[in-house]
Amino acid sequence: MLFAGTSLPVTIEATTADLVQGTISIEGLLSYRDRTLTLEYRVTDMSMQPSAVRTLDLSLADLREVELKKGLFGTKIVVRPQRLALFEQMPGVTGDELTLKVKRRDREAAPPSSPTSVWS
């Protein structure tokens, strides 16, 4: 379960547009506190130099849906905003979705199957 004050390591798959711009990987930490999801992340480009830490704060009121998809090899947390502008500068966004991948070894820290009940 993702408890307030704890962090969950996540990766974000770079989109084709991100790859064309030179982005290779996006990795970070997801945390939850005071009804806000915070994603701190770094982008690594073709020079293999990670960027400075960037932060995306998402109030639960700004989110349309947070969906948890548990699979055999890992877990995905799909975040859908109320407004597209929330993801305007965020790499890895496909359409209106930001998919955060949680490695199998970290899945115990992922939220339960009904995240909205925990985060509401």
Query: pLDDT, tens digit, for every residue of 57-94?
Result: 999 999 999 998 888 877 899 999 999 999 988 999 99
Residue 113 has pLDDT above 90, yes or no: no
Distance CA 15, CA 27 (A): 14
Q: Which residue's entry shows tokens 């877990």?
A: 75
* Contacts of 15 by beta carbon, 8 Å cutoff, 6+ apart: 91, 92, 93, 94
- Domain annotation for the chain: domains and CATH numbers: 7-119 (2.30.29)
pLDDT tens figures, 33-56: 889 999 999 999 888 989 899 999
pTM, two decimals, is 0.81
Q: Which of 119, 98, 120, 95 is nearest to 1 (CA)?
A: 119
- CA distances, 61 to each of 37, 52, 82, 102 (Å): 11, 28, 8, 24
